[in-house]
Structures are given as structure tokens and as C-alpha cells.
């Protein structure tokens, strides 16, 4: 979801072409993907504020998962092809610098505010949510309450949204190991590593999708929260990153000179209309359409030629800024919503306003916490990044455990 900061990938983000939304390759900086993150967070906001006709806005999380699978797999595969291996320590250190400082700050602030204003019993319950979030198992923790419906004990947790971060972290833990093992096995057999990865990830993706489809009927919450039923969305992005040349050839051969416009337009239309029909289609079909729509938009942005209309819209400065802010904004908006609802605010217009208000601490967090840790030379070393991750986990876990036991 937010494991890789797209402002700092393989090219200069101040390249004049990028200001025009140019994005002619699957690798390097993708201004349109940065903007796509803004669309994703917007859908989540509409859903959580209970805006009419957007009951399916939860697909914003689906969009984030596809983006993560695409970006992270692309980085890992390029490292394998460049060096013959993957530095697991360096990978985990980068993830720690990117994700943990902001996540830890919001978690600690939320826990301390709750401790100051809520009854002890409620504080203890939220502290356990915080401990699960710190240990990156929040999705399994929330799922343990009820596999079929959203249990009342967790429905109003200000840390409920940490479930999606847990899915991401579990992906980051296992995915580089998977890429490394498959690539090494392929080399030993004298086979192409990229082709071997496509086959392995295709199997994982299909199995995960089938599991998601079955559980979406039998145990809705299990399909929604669990890592195995979300792996196919990350896998879809991964397959797109691996098959970029094939996608380009197919699109140009079958769709002609306007291939990118067709793909981007179809993806955008599908993405924006899917939430309107989610109640009729159900979770599995809705998630499948959202995943396909995201893949179409990403694929279109990577085709050679002038940027599509969709890519130009996604690459405008305001949209890109919202996309850049999306991670910390996502972290702050749920505590704000829960606080507002506890004070009797239930109008979707007011709730949407509260979510917009959460942009204030989000911007401050981005400027004072997120960016410094990303660009600081002090934390660029692998060892420093790993120590940062250990320190953040220890402090947040210690505070959460203390509040849970008091």
C-alpha cells in the first residue's frame, strides 16, 4: 500500500517531463500511480463517512494492494536481475523507514488520548488493538472476534484500519523471500528467473483468489481481513510488473495506436462505477473488478507514447500531493472519525469534513516525521533502518502492553 515512496524511485522527480504527467515506462517514477493513490484514499473516505451510493468505497484498499504488489515486485525483480540476489536486510530496513515512524506516532497519540479521556475498560481493549497493530497482526486480531460480521467490540476501534497495514507488512515479510527462492531455484535449473516468477506468482494469485471467492460467501470478515485472501490483489500487481513487455506488445497489437487511452479509460470508468453496484455484486465480484480496473490504469500508464487523459488528470499537482499524503492521511482519519462519532456526529457531510480536517496533522506528520526519516543520511544505512524498526516496535508495544495491563 505504502511500502515504497514513489517520489524517490529510480529517476529524478524534478524532471520537467514528470510535471507534464509523462510516464512512458513501467519502471522509474510514475506520477500517475502517485495520483492513483489519491483516488484510492478518496474512495476509502467516502466509504468511511457513509456517503450515499458509495457503500463500496472500501475498494480503495484493493487499489492500494495492487499498487504495492506492482511497485515492490518491480523493485525486487530489478534487484535480482541486477545483482543476482535480494538483500533482505536492506529491503526490511527501507520498509521500516517508510512505514513505522508515522504509524508508531499515530498509534501512540491515539493510545495516550484514549487513556486520558476514556474509561479504563475501554482503554484496555484499545490497547490490545494497539499491541496487535504494533506486532503487525492486527488483521488476525480483529478477525478473531468474528469471522462473519464486524463484531461490536472492534467496529468503533480507532485502530481498526491498522489491519490493512498488517496485511502489507506480512506481504513485505514473505514476498522478498519468495522472489529470492524462486529466482535461485530457476538459476540452478538454468531457467529464466522472470518466467519462473510469473508461473509461481500466477499459482499463488489464483489460489488466493479462489479462497477469497469462497470465503466471501461463507465468512465475509475472513475474506476481507486475512492475508491469504488478499494475496491475489498483491499478486495481480506483481504479475503486471513481471509481464510488462508482454502487456505492451499485446496492447499495441490488438488495440492499436490508442491502446493506452482505451485501457486507461476503461479502467477509470470501471473503478469509479464499481462502488455504486457493490451491494448487488457482493465482495468477491466487487474486489475482482476493482483489482482489474487498477491493473488497467497502471498498465496504460506504462505504455509508450504520450500520457493518456487519465494519466494527465492523475498527474496534476493537487492530485499527486493528495496521493503523496495518502499514507499518513489514512493513519489519522480513522481516529478522527471515531472521535467525531463518539461525540454524536453522524451526518455524512460532517464526517467527510472531519476526514478532510485530518489532513492537518497528516501534513505535519509528513513534513516532520515521514520525510525526515526517508531522506536523512543518518537512517539510510541498513543497520540504522533495522534499529529504527526495532525501536519503534519496542516503544509502541511497551506503551500498548502497559495500558492493557493497568
Question: DSSP characters for 35-99?
Answer: HHHHHHHHHHHHHHTT-TT-TTTTHHHHHHHHHHHHHHHHHHHHHHHHHSS--HHHHHHHHHHHH
Sign of the alpha-carbon dihedral angle for 200, 204, 210, 213? negative
Q: How far apart are CA 82 and CA 364, in angstroms?
A: 37
Chain mean position to CA 175: 15
- pLDDT for the residue numbered 1: 60
Q: What is the mean pLDDT of each run of 10 residues along the chain (406 residues)?
A: 46 36 55 96 95 91 97 94 92 95 98 96 96 96 74 80 96 95 91 92 97 93 94 97 84 75 93 89 94 95 86 96 97 97 94 97 97 88 94 97 94
> What are 127-160's pLDDT values in tens digits?
999 999 999 999 999 998 875 565 666 778 999 9
Counted residue by residue, the chain has a size of: 406
- pLDDT for the residue numbered 18: 32
What are 152's three cell numbers? 461490536
Q: How far apart are CA 172 and CA 69, in angstroms?
A: 10
Assess contact for 39 and 315: CB atoms under 8 A. Answer: no
Question: DSSP characters for 168-213?
Answer: HHHHHHHHHHHHHHHHHHHHHTT--HHHHHHHHHHHHHHHHHHHHH
- pLDDT for the residue numbered 331: 98
DSSP state of 49: T
Q: Which residue has the cell 491498522?
A: 162
Spell out the residues 6+ positions from residue 147 whose beta carbon is closer than 8 angstroms to its own.
Answer: 219, 221, 222
- pLDDT for the residue numbered 151: 60
What are 106's three cell numbers? 499515530
CA angle, corner 352, sides to 32 and 325, nearest 5?
A: 35
Instruction: Kindly report the pTM of this predicted structure.
Output: 0.91
Q: How far apart are CA 375 and CA 373, in angstroms?
A: 6
Amino acid at each position: 500500500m505504502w511500502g515504497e515512496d514513489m517520489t524517490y524511485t529510480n529517476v529524478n522527480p524534478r524532471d520537467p517531463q514528470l510535471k507534464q504527467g509523462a510516464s512512458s515506462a513501467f519502471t522509474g517514477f510514475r506520477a500517475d500511480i502517485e495520483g492513483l493513490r489519491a483516488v484510492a484514499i478518496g474512495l476509502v473516505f467516502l466509504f468511511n463517512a457513509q456517503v450515499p451510493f458509495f457503500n463500496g468505497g472500501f475498494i480503495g484498499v484493493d487499489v492500494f494492494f495492487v499498487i504495492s504488489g506492482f511497485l515492490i515486485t518491480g523493485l525486487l525483480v530489478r534487484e535480482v536481475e541486477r545483482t543476482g540476489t535480494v538483500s533482505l536486510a536492506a529491503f526490511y530496513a527501507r520498509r521500516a523507514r517508510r512505514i513505522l515512524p508515522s504509524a508508531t506516532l499515530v498509534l501512540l497519540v491515539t493510545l495516550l488520548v484514549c487513556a486520558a479521556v476514556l474509561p479504563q475498560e475501554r482503554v484496555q481493549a484499545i490497547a490490545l488493538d494497539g499491541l496487535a497493530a504494533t506486532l503487525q497482526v492486527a488483521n488476525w486480531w480483529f478477525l478473531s472476534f468474528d469471522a462473519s460480521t464486524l463484531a461490536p467490540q472492534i467496529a468503533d476501534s480507532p485502530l481498526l484500519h491498522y489491519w490493512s497495514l498488517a496485511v502489507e507488512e506480512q506481504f513485505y515479510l514473505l514476498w522478498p523471500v519468495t522472489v529470492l527462492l524462486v529466482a535461485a531455484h530457476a538459476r540452478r535449473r538454468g531457467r529464466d528467473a522472470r518466467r519462473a516468477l510469473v508461473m509461481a506468482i500466477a499459482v499463488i494469485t489464483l489460489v488466493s483468489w479462489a479462497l477469497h471467492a469462497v470465503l466471501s460467501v461463507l465468512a465475509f470478515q475472513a475474506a476481507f481481513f486475512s492475508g491469504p485472501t488478499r494475496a491475489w490483489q498483491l499478486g495481480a500487481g506483481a504479475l503486471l510488473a513481471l509481464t510488462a513487455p508482454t502487456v505492451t506488445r499485446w496492447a499495441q497489437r490488438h488495440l492499436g495506436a490508442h491502446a493506452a487511452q482505451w485501457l486507461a479509460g476503461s479502467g477509470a470508468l470501471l473503478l469509479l462505477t464499481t462502488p455504486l453496484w457493490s451491494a448487488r455484486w457482493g465482495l468477491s465480484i466487487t474486489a475482482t473488478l476493482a483489482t482489474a480496473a487498477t491493473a488497467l490504469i497502471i498498465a496504460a500508464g506504462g505504455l509508450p507514447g504520450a500520457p493518456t487523459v487519465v494519466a494527465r488528470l492523475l498527474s496534476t499537482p493537487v492530485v499527486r500531493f493528495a496521493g503523496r499524503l495518502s499514507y499518513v492521511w489514512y493513519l489519522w482519519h480513522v481516529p478522527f472519525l471515531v472521535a467525531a462519532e463518539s461525540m454524536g456526529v453522524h451526518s455524512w457531510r460532517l464526517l467527510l469534513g472531519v476526514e478532510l480536517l485530518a489532513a492537518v496533522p497528516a501534513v505535519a506528520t509528513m513534513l516532520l516525521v515521514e520525510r525526515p526519516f526517508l531522506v536523512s543520511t543518518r537512517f539510510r544505512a541498513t543497520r540504522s533502518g533495522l534499529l529504527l524498526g526495532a525501536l519503534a516496535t519496542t516503544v509502541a508495544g511497551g506503551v500498548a502492553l502497559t495500558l492493557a495491563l493497568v
